[in-house]
Every structure is written in C-alpha cells, then in structure tokens.
C-alpha cells in the first residue's frame, strides 16, 4: 500500500526553512482522515526542508525507493505499522505567516529541570512544546548555537488533540554534553510523549 500527497507550506515569520511542528501537523491532519486509532507516533528529522514536499504513506518502507528523505513519521493504526515519508519536491514556498514565541517565553516558568506553561494560545501542542523547550535550553545551557528539534514521540494522537487551557510541562531527562537532549512531555500532569533537541554550533 502506498498513498501520495502534496504538502504545501508557508514559512513562519522570517524563517527560510519549514519547522518540524509544521511538517508534523500537516501530516497528522492527513492521517486523521485516512486512519483510525493512531498510536505510537515517532517523528524523526533527517534534513532541513526549504521547499514544499511530497508525502508518501506506506506500510512497507524501502529506503532506496526515495532519493531524498527530509523526515519520517512512523505510527500504528489498529496494530499495523505505517510510514509517512516526507521528501523535498523542489517547489518554491511563496507565503509566510506571523508567528511569535514571545507569549510562550514570557509566561513559561522554569524550575530546575522543568518548564511549564498554562496554555491560552491557538497553536498546536507540538508548536508550543518546541517553543517552550527551545526557550528552556537557551536559558539553562550556556552554549553558542541554535537548538533545533530532531525527534518527538507521542503515545496516542488523541492525547494531544485538546489543549485549551491545559497545563503543559516539559521535564529534561537527559543532556548529552550540552549537544543532545531528551525531555518528557506532560499534559495536565499526564505523560504524553518525548521530545529530542540537538545543538547546531555557531559558525566561528
């Protein structure tokens, strides 16, 4: 089985690449129409995406069939494993949207290895936790460079579908030489997944 879809994006603000949350949210929107009982989602980024993309959904993944892979989401539906493969198609992105992380930054509370935020925003769960974690790492780790999301795992898609007025927490679990981090995601004190970041060093 293989289904093919076009993914069309807008850049956020002045960015010239597509953020991981935007890729993930676009795919989830399609998956929700095609599959039921979606669980064990794992998003992994391989290359930055600078253009629109083609999405391939299959239950049999063969890497050599794809010339370039920007990211992959694996997931289960009714106990069967599927792959959502994102490939750059070279089509130019022609739009941008306003997006500010300022509200998240100003209203998040950092206590030791945890950052929390009482959500009042219309953004997706993934957008918010990525902004929260980037802010947390920039505030707590003294390293020069840019923190980017490389992977996130969600136990159940339904767990992150309703976040209105929810309390969102991120707890740092592992920090590998201030270059790679793993954090636990909690929604109203319920564990819903994990978030991984890596540091791109600042060019000297």
**Three-state secondary structure call for residue 7:** strand
Chain position carrying tokens 């064990």: 40
Pick among 3.10.180.10, 3.60.20.10, 3.10.129.10, 1.10.260.40: CATH of 100-201: 3.10.129.10
What is the 8-class DSSP label of residue 112?
T
Which residue, 80, 96, 120, is CA-closest to 19?
Answer: 96
Q: Look at strands 145-156 and 167-176 and give their pairing.
A: unpaired
Eight-class DSSP state of 92: P
Q: Please state the pTM of the whole predicted model.
A: 0.90
Range 137-146, long-range pairs (CB < 8 A, 24+ positions): 137/181, 137/197, 137/199, 139/110, 140/110, 141/175, 141/178, 142/178, 143/178, 143/179, 143/199, 143/201, 144/201, 144/202, 145/199, 145/200, 145/201, 145/202, 146/199, 146/200, 146/202
CA 43 to CA 90: how far, in whole Å?
A: 22
CATH of 2-96, one of 1.20.1540, 3.10.129, 2.40.30, 3.30.450: 3.10.129
Backbone φ and ψ of 31, nearest 5°: -60, -35
Name the helix (H) or strand (E) containing 59: none
Exposed / middle / buried, residue 92 (Cβ in 10 Å: 0-12, 13-18, 19+) = exposed
Q: Enter the tokens of residue 2.
A: 């293989």
What is the pairing mode between strands 11-12 and 96-97? parallel
The ranges of the chain annotated as CATH 3.10.129.10 are 100-201
- Give the CA distances from residue 93 to residues 24, 89, 179, in Å, rounded to whole numbers and listed in that order: 17, 11, 31
Per-residue pLDDT of the chain (204 residues; tens, 9 = 90+): 889 999 999 998 888 999 899 999 999 999 999 998 999 999 999 999 999 999 999 999 999 999 899 999 999 999 999 999 999 999 999 999 888 888 899 999 999 999 999 998 989 999 999 999 999 999 998 878 889 999 999 999 888 988 999 999 999 999 998 889 999 999 999 999 999 999 988 775
């Amino acid at each position: 089985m293989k289904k093919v879809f076009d993914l069309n994006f807008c850049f956020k603000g002045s960015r010239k690449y597509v953020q991981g949350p935007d890729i993930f949210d676009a795919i989830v929107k399609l998956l929700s129409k095609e599959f039921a009982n979606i669980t064990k989602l794992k998003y992994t980024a391989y290359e930055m995406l600078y253009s629109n993309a083609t999405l391939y959904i299959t239950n049999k993944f063969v890497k050599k069939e794809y010339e370039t892979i920007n990211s992959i989401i694996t997931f289960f539906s009714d106990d069967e494993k599927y792959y959502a493969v994102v490939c750059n198609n070279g089509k130019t992105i022609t739009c941008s949207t306003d997006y500010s992380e300022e509200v998240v930054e100003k209203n998040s509370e950092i206590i030791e290895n945890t950052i929390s935020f009482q959500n009042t925003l219309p953004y997706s769960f993934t957008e918010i936790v990525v902004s929260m974690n980037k802010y947390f790492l920039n505030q707590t780790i003294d390293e020069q460079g840019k923190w980017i999301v490389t992977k996130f795992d969600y136990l159940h898609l339904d767990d992150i579908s309703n976040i209105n007025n929810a309390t969102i927490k991120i707890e740092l679990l592992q920090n590998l030489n201030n270059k790679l981090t793993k954090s636990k995601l909690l929604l109203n004190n319920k564990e819903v997944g994990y978030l991984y970041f890596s540091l791109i060093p600042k060019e000297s």
